[in-house]
Structure 1
């Protein structure tokens, strides 16, 4: 029998070479070694996929098997000491394992993300990898040397991009003695040290693999809490979280399904806890929406949004909103600002503890905890777990339930009170309950169906703050300037000829005539060159496409199937490219499809679990199809009429639908898009749209287009000095 080859030395993560060592069993025979271990593990994952449910620990096993197969294939190919016959036999067996991996991924396409280059390898995956190597009689990987922790805040030499806005400096000068708040009682301490020698984090994470009756902490009944909010009423399930904060609870993993109002709950919980100033860390796509919701739910509190280097922020604001992407520039002064509360939206974004944004978020939470022992911490996510139970680790650490190695005192006290140890029967159930009671809140739409309307439309403003956004604002300014020039010149000419007497203020009749003329010329193609309302709206749709698709992808990961509507094909193209990149299965309904292709795509969305999103044209798919397997609709572009919008939503809001339906309108903030959304609501009637689903049409698309131009011109006239521009007399008749 030929002698087995030794494993060659390899490069470590820091690029240095490790000495050659024999990682293979010295007497490896058929049935021994790494390949049988991998084959056994992959068959277990395949069996779970066939049953229709792959648990997080099986996802971890899938990733580890794939990584080890890659390594073993590379080793077998390059090892010159193996005979050709031996190499062929080993490659055949590895190919068989790879085939099972591919078939399993075909059943559950979300597994493909685990195979991507740069996919995160969790601590649980690293541990399982070593266990497999040991089972194969091989030497496990050595523990990596701990890299020096980067100084993310308070360093003597700030990073080049670190900034301190001038208004923040002004606030610091106005309040130079911002003392820590130690008035609140310390967190409960364990009465015993019975569990002091146990490794508890792994059992705590594993306790959530076994499931349980409820994933929601006991919540009090909401009382009558008045915050000066007009015409807005909290739903029962929302009021419960606010009541818990009012009673003194200070940490929440708020994992309600999308559409249940987590933003409002967080803002009012901060109000109930007097957690001001409040820091809110969010994805860029929802930054504008947080400012909008803060104005609605907490109108007595000032909110400021950090853009770029923060030149325009209000350092004295009660609520400071910043997105993950620019957190590195501001983390220094944010850590010293004296926040009494912190909210992290879409908290699954910090699941990778090695990422810079996760390190910044965790460091900020520690800074706040050091100064205020009764601070409010809220992690908001409709997707608390992505791949693995270990995804909980960073979120729990942000909330202060655990540190890097063990539970913190408050959670440890609850575990000690159970009287159980990990070796005892019933420990995992009791441990899971202890963690949930720390502040996990999870409700589904079906659980609170009596609270929410059968159908509602939720607006999600997004910021277009890149070059495309600047281009759109410039195009909008160009259109407004052209309208304003015509208005002023026509008004001046009429006054000189004595047609009208001079009067103060804006001539609303003339505004409407100018807008009507612009719309008429645009429609006939006889208008001047330049932007018009139609080209402007198309540009806005193109700019929103990627952001809308990103949000639809988040929904698909958290609540299941999503219907995505757009007006233009280029917007649909961007959305489909985004889903392709994210590894999300999708189908498409377009006007140029054959009836057979259309039917096949609809059937795939209705029956194939791997098809998570259907991308629909508003004109081609707005009527005549049933898509009620979904309860969430994303409207990437606005319609010109409420009827068209209602018809799109009614593809899912129809007989056979068992859940409340939410339609998410993506609105480009600080553009004509916002005015158009308001006009559509005004025409249809906001109450009918939100409460009873009425599609009664009030006015036509031309009315909305005209009113949009009227609003654009009126706002321009109000914000600009009244001057007469040179030009020719515009014929309005």
Structure 2
């Protein structure tokens, strides 16, 4: 007999009352359930950064605390106790599933108390939200005393070098100039937001593009006269505005202009305006020579020296020291002793991995400079600050002194406090994004500041791999998909379909299968057939097709830049160009800076050089090749940033023709999907930095997304 409407309403009311009663018994449980779903959602999108790891940890020990409390509660009925323990088990199950997806979380499940100030604040805030009464010592949480780590790590101490000329410099001037800037720190005032966990909300503010608009601090107007450019050169208006901000006293910047807008020249002139000498410039190896040339070009009164190897030939009395990331660890000791007044980190996204020694070296040097000087010049340069996740900002913000990773620095905290808002207010997020931007983020696009710069077009050219090699690639791709599909089916059979509709695919299992395959592929290297070897074989199969297209293109438009990822593809292309009677230059990773710069100069100035054959990784940054307006991408990168950097070797200030990048895509292979995934990765930067209202996409790596695509295809999805 059907239930009457009044009876149904009565039943619903009883259920609500029962649920409310249970929540009264354990009000923290619905909060934990909500928080664990947030962590689970982040983990599914591959976005489990430091903040969400702390959240995962706090949920785990609060579940244990609450389980112990419920079991010990003498006045609770057995039925209520069983129901509450069941709900806590549900939260624990989600934690376990999330840890299975990211095994680095397993150790966090074992922590039985909130150790860090951030974790203790998070625990306190959730308990207060649940209505719990806390002891005074739980309400007031102080930050742990920071113990300064040594500038030179123990592992690198034995590799420290002392170039002979540096000793001569120190003997000539054994005393560092004192910092006479008035500075009376005094006690740090207690602020309204001191008790809040703020790093997660700051990242979220950029992730959602809160407030819209480009991420550029307010800059002064263009000055009436150009006081900076040497004879024969002129800074552009957007560069002048940046330099005026330096002249007015701003000293820390994330200069995130799109590639090709002259960040190197701006940095060289900024050091001159600020008088920030000696200046240290940390760069990728391929651009050391270019930096030295730019210093000489824009500030001819200053001397630059490039640090090679152990620094036997460096000029220790120079104003600008240029070193690449790979050898920085040998020079930490003496660099920290010469009184650096400024530091520039070029391609700053290179330091995003905080666990790498490269990042630690850069951050340690910057910290030592800030400890000695009140307001040093610190510049982080990158046209692509965000690669996969908005927490890629973390290392850059630490380098600039805006945060320490756990909380904002004093200046940023003051700006956030002045908003009068907290992360519980929706309006906090646009205000917080604006506060961080005002610390010194400068992001200009070519379309905004160089309206006379020609357009940039990426055109895909599908090619058919119809020979025996191409057929073997497609067969290998089918076999890989079948292997992934079989693994998926075995997992489903083992655990049961759990209510899946006919034809429905469990995305969690697809991700699990793809991640397992990716991990195995990375461990196996090139010794077995996997997604990496398959993509390399596709590149080999496209090599002559791409080279032939470049030959035809060169005959119709002139100079062409040809990018490939692997040496054998570059070799095959160069042989094809030679057979066609074309003169080429080559830019590879094993060249010295002098040889590489000579190749760039020959391409830009010698009318007989028709094609530059470039390594996608070695020549993708810091190289100016605007003598061409056409680029051929013979192989695809795994990141959108690498592709953009390559194209922008041509699409730069000084280019007076529209730029076209021709991507050679192997039709009916995984190559097509990789190209689509690379394009989708542009949305994070557009949303976080340029304020575009673009739907959030997956933050999975291209490799993982490609394997998930193969798995779905094999399953008929």
TM normalised by structure 1 equals 0.50
Query: Would the alpha carbon gap of residues 688 and 399 (structure 1) be closer, same or farther in structure 2, given more than 3 Å must change?
Result: closer
Question: Which residue matches 2:222?
Answer: 222
User: Do structure 1's residue 368 and structure 2's residue 299 form an aligned pair?
Assistant: no
Answer yes or no: is the 8 Å Cα contact 1:287–1:323 preserved in 2.
yes
Matched residue SS, 1:349? helix
Question: Which residue matches 1:61?
Answer: 44
Question: Which residue matches 1:205?
Answer: 203
Q: Per-residue deviation at 1:449?
A: 3.5
Answer yes or no: is the 8 Å Cα contact 2:57–2:109 preserved in 1.
yes
Distance 1:39 1:190 in 2: 35
Correspondence for 1:142 among 100, 107, 110: 110
Q: Per-residue deviation at 1:152?
A: 4.2
Question: Which residue matches 2:594?
Answer: 670
Distance 1:585 1:346 in 2: 30
Q: Per-residue deviation at 1:225?
A: 3.5
Distance 1:679 1:165 in 2: 35
Q: Per-residue deviation at 1:191?
A: 7.2
Correspondence for 1:123 among 47, 50, 72: 50
Query: Would the alpha carbon gap of residues 193 and 295 (structure 1) be closer, same or farther in structure 2, given more than 3 Å must change?
Result: same
Moved more, 350-359 or 223-232: 223-232
Query: Would the alpha carbon gap of residues 150 and 220 (structure 1) be closer, same or farther in structure 2, given more than 3 Å must change?
Result: closer
**Residues 479-537 of structure 1: per-residue CA shift (max 9 Å, x gap):** xxxxxxxxxxxxxxxxxxxxxxxxxxxxxxxxxxxxxxxxxxxxxxxxxxxxxxxxxxx
**Residues 365-409 of structure 1: per-residue CA shift (max 9 Å, x gap):** 111111211211011112212222222111111101112432111
Matched residue SS, 2:331? helix
Unpaired runs of 5+ in structure 2? 1-32, 64-89, 96-107, 117-145, 458-525, 610-624, 629-653, 660-717
Question: Which residue matches 1:681?
Answer: 605
Q: CA RMSD in A?
A: 5.0
Question: Which residue matches 1:622?
Answer: 553
Answer yes or no: is the 8 Å Cα contact 2:453–2:656 preserved in 1.
no
TM normalised by structure 2 equals 0.51
Matched residue SS, 2:420? coil
Distance 1:418 1:379 in 2: 26
Question: Which residue matches 1:460?
Answer: none
Distance 1:125 1:326 in 2: 34
**Residues 141-196 of structure 1: per-residue CA shift (max 9 Å, x gap):** 134999x9895426899721111211111111111111431415679998762122
Answer yes or no: is the 8 Å Cα contact 2:587–2:599 preserved in 1.
no
Question: Which residue matches 2:512?
Answer: none
Distance 2:244 2:329 in 1: 34
Question: Which residue matches 2:170?
Answer: 172
Question: Which residue matches 1:599?
Answer: none
Query: Would the alpha carbon gap of residues 163 and 687 (structure 1) be closer, same or farther in structure 2, given more than 3 Å must change?
Result: closer
Answer yes or no: is the 8 Å Cα contact 1:455–1:692 preserved in 2.
no
Answer yes or no: is the 8 Å Cα contact 1:222–1:239 preserved in 2.
yes
Answer yes or no: is the 8 Å Cα contact 1:622–1:647 preserved in 2.
no
Distance 2:533 2:354 in 1: 23
Q: Per-residue deviation at 1:453?
A: 5.5
Answer yes or no: is the 8 Å Cα contact 2:51–2:199 preserved in 1.
no
User: Do structure 1's residue 262 and structure 2's residue 263 form an aligned pair?
Assistant: yes
Moved more, 165-174 or 685-694: 685-694
Distance 2:323 2:422 in 1: 42
User: Do structure 1's residue 305 and structure 2's residue 288 form an aligned pair?
Assistant: no
Matched residue SS, 1:285? helix
Question: Which residue matches 1:241?
Answer: 242
Distance 1:380 1:373 in 2: 22
Q: Per-residue deviation at 1:362?
A: 1.1
Question: Which residue matches 1:386?
Answer: 387
Matched residue SS, 1:137? helix
Unpaired runs of 5+ in structure 1? 1-35, 46-57, 65-120, 457-573, 594-614, 649-662, 696-733
- With CA pairs under 8 Å and 6+ residues apart, which has the higher RCO, 1 or 2? 2
Question: Which residue matches 1:442?
Answer: 443
Q: Per-residue deviation at 1:245?
A: 0.8
**Residues 591-634 of structure 1: per-residue CA shift (max 9 Å, x gap):** 755xxxxxxxxxxxxxxxxxxxxx655744535999xxxx9975
Distance 1:619 1:433 in 2: 46
Q: Per-residue deviation at 1:127?
A: 3.9
